[in-house]
A and B are shown apart, each in its own frame.
Chain A
Amino acid sequence: MRILEGQGVTKYFGGLAAISNVDFHVDQGEILGLIGPNGAGKTTLFNLISAALPASSGGMRFKGQKISGLKPHRICQMGIARTFQETKVFGNMPVIQNVLVGAFFGKPTHISGAAAANEATQALEFVGLSATSAAPIKDLTLAQQKRVEVARALATKPELLLLDELMAGLTPTEVGEAMELVTRIRDKGITIIMVEHVMKAIMGISTRVMVLHHGEKIAEGTCNEISCNKTVIDIYLGEETHAAS
């Protein structure tokens, strides 16, 4: 079943088409890897899905329902949560309270304080940061802050989770841990789109991969299909020769 579907999705920044006429879909329960060189439009696509930015044209459906034109908080309450490439934590709160915000406001229905606190604790435990619960979030490393973002997103009880470069700047061991975390999230039944430059991670855990380049979708398929794809190899190995296109 397709949980999310986009048709002709386009975003212009002035004259620049950051996303141009992209058709895409995400199947329920899969991990969709989203790759492409810097500036390809990956984050922009996330911004369009989560309604951080309005699309210039095109439409998207989430579980069959039109989501174009909704506000970000509605999107979140419908079941789409996200993290940010450049971490956006609540710097004025301790770690647990960051997660609590997600638990409190992320769902369409009202939730009691005790239940929210409970969910927040669980989400924090799930990402393995229980020990830092009471610490000011500023005291955490960047990698840890990204995990808090994941916990915060999970606390909203999403069905679809958008992860933007969760593994950037991690050591190989940490990458392994993050891959394990993403799989565990998928095993909870949450569908995932992840933007990643770490090829080992993409090839290791994605069900399917979609490749963006200059805002266009240039390839899509299983890991095997993608790693053999001529265009993709050209783009990743020979950026310069392709710059003219």
Chain B
Amino acid sequence: MNITRLFTTHRKLLLMGFLILLIAFVLTFPLYGGARTRVLITMLVYAILAMSWAMFSGTTGYMSLAPAAFFGTGIYTTYLLQNHLPLPIIIVAAGLISFVLAVLLGLVTLRLKGIYFTIFTFGLVVFIPNVVTYVEGEVTQHHGWYFNVLDRTIILYTMLGLAVVTVLAIYLIRRSRLGLAMQSIGGNEEAAEHMGIDTTRTKVLTFAISAIFMGAAGAVLAPSLSYSNPTIAYSAFYSFVPIVAAVFGGMGSLQGPIVGGLLFGFLEKTLKVEWNTYFMLGFGIIIVLVILFLPTGMVGLVPILRDKLGGAISKWRKGREGEQHANT
């Protein structure tokens, strides 16, 4: 069987098999080494953030720096509701609150030019934690958030469930009318308007949908933190991670941000402790190089490598066949 042909004809099947293996691996992970659960949770969080970010910004070209605002809001929601509601409902609530927040922000800013949108989303990340800090200082007199700690394994599985839901939702959206509308905005917004697309509605809606997953991810992660506060929860780092991860993996596709998020999460948790400075430096350099030379990201390498490899293999086979002919 020709390997290249196997890849091209059964790609979907192979991908599916790979996914099932991956899921099986993750499901049984605590059996191999519970200490690594934390790494896996982080990887999933980054994958969710990167996917959701790329779903909106990667397709429309409107660069959002807001992920941290929604992610932090998710964490805060869990803190506020943890003693009143069960976790599943809190997760849904966090998603909804992020959605509403994103709609409000979107209505104000998505009418504006791309650059103003970016500045605004950026401001949000600085705005919300400061307001929360103020409100806490003045009203509740609480400083810092403590969480009812949950078993990490449960958090891992919940996060995995959320990741699967996110993948499915984004997959469906990308294939839907909404996905086409988003893509045409990314292609040429003015033309999109004149082709009957309500661009403002499309942008606000998809921006808000992407916020749901970010908020939910924060809510799920919260019980694994034991302690947090507005500065930690809303850290701008969480806005940067999805961008770095999505660009690294390839923000135009569905797989790219997943690969990028998982990889970034893994590398961060394993390398950053010892190599923090060089790690971030390396990522800065990689981002620049990817933007310049690999616009489709790491996953864009796959078809390139496949072609190269496939070419090499068929050449080798031809050579062998030739040899055989000569022998007979």
Contact with A along B171-209 (1 / 0, CB 8 A): 000000100110110111011111111110000000000
The segment out of A4-12, A86-94, A165-173 that lies at the interface is A86-94
- Is B190's CB under 8 angstroms from A88's CB? yes
The residue that B180 contacts in the complex, of A81, A84, A101, A156, with Cβ under 8 A, is A101
* A124: min CB distance to chain B, Å: 15
Kindly specify which of A34-42, A70-78, A182-190, A214-222 makes contact with the partner chain: A70-78
Contact partners of B195 in chain A: CB under 8 A: 73, 76, 101-102, 105-106, 152, 156
The verdict on A71 contacting B191 (CB below 8 Å), with A90-B184, A100-B180, A104-B180 known, is: no
Given known pairs A90-B183, A90-B191, the reply for A104 and B177 (CB within 8 Å) is yes
Query: Which of B181, B184, B190, B197 is close to A93, meaning CB atoms less than 8 Å apart?
Result: B184
Contact flags A29-69 to B (C-beta < 8 A → 1, else 0)? 00000000000000000000010100000000000000000
| A156 contact set on B, CB distance < 8 A | 195-196
Q: How far is the CA of A92 from the CA of B183 in the complex (A)?
A: 8
A104 / chain B contacts, CB cutoff of 8 Å: 177, 180
CA distance A90 to B186 in the complex (A): 8
Contacts of A91 in B (CB 8 A): 187-188
Max chain A CB contacts within 10 Å: which of B180, B181, B186, B196?
B196
Verify if A82 is at the interface (C-beta below 8 Å from B).
Answer: yes
- Residue of A52, A97, A100, A101 touching B197 (CB-CB under 8 A): A101
Q: Nearest A residue to B193 by beta-carbon distance?
A: A72
Q: Which residues of B contact A76 (CB under 8 A)?
A: 193-196
* In the complex, chain A residues whose CB is within 8 Å of the CB of B180: 97, 100-101, 104
CA distance in complex: A172, B184 (Å): 33
Q: B176's closest neighbor in chain A, by CB?
A: A113
Shortest distance in angstroms between B47's beta carbon and chain A's nearest beta carbon? 24
A107 within 8 A of B: yes
Query: Given A73-B199, A100-B180, A104-B180, are A81 and B194 also a contact pair (CB < 8 Å)?
Result: yes
Contact partner, A90, options B177, B188, B193, Cβ 8 Å: B188
Provide the A94-130 mask, 1 if CB < 8 A to any CB of B, else 0.
0001101110111100000000000000000000000
Residues from chain A with Cβ under 8 Å of B187 in the complex: 89-93, 98
Distance in angstroms between the alpha carbons of A152 and B193 in the assembled complex:
13
- Rounded to whole angstroms, the CA-CA distance of A75 and B190 in the bound complex is 13
Are B196 and A89 in contact, CB atoms less than 8 angstroms apart?
Answer: no
Task: Identify the closest chain B residue to A90 (Cβ).
Answer: B187
Say whether A73 contacts B188, CB under 8 Å.
no
Residues on A with beta carbons closer than 8 Å to the beta carbon of B197:
73, 101, 105
Q: Report the minimum CB–CB distance from B110 to chain A (whole Å).
A: 14
Whether B188 pairs with A105 at a CB distance below 8 angstroms is: no
Q: Which residues of A contact B193 (CB under 8 A)?
A: 52, 71-73, 76
Complex contact B188–A89 (CB within 8 A) = yes
Inter-chain CA distance A104–B182, complex, in Å, is 13
Closest to B197 in A: A105
Q: How far is the CB of A162 from chain B (nearest CB, A)?
A: 10
B61: nearest residue on chain A (CB-CB)? A92
Minimum CB–CB distance from B183 to chain A (whole Å) comes to 6
Given A93-B183, A101-B180, A104-B177, A77 and B188 touching (CB < 8 A)? no
> In the assembly, what is the distance between CA of A97 and CA of B188, in Å?
13
Provide the bound-state CA to CA distance between A156 and B193, in Å. 12
Return B246 CB to nearest CB of chain A, in Å.
Answer: 16
Complex CA–CA separation, A170 to B184 (angstroms): 27
Tell me whether A72 and B177 are in contact (CB under 8 A).
Answer: no
Given the complex, which residues of B lie within 8 Å of A82, measured CB to CB?
A: 194
Distance between A91 CB and nearest chain B CB, rounded to angstroms: 5
Q: A81-B194, A102-B196 are in contact. List 17 more A-B contacts (CB 8 A).
A: A52-B193, A71-B198, A72-B194, A73-B196, A73-B198, A73-B199, A76-B193, A76-B194, A76-B196, A82-B194, A88-B191, A89-B187, A90-B191, A101-B181, A105-B177, A105-B197, A152-B195
23 contacts between A and B (CB under 8 A): A52-B193, A52-B194, A73-B193, A73-B197, A73-B198, A75-B194, A84-B190, A88-B191, A89-B188, A90-B184, A90-B191, A91-B187, A92-B186, A98-B187, A101-B184, A101-B195, A101-B197, A102-B195, A105-B177, A105-B196, A105-B197, A106-B195, A152-B191
Closest 4 CB pairs of A and B: A90-B187, A105-B196, A88-B191, A72-B193
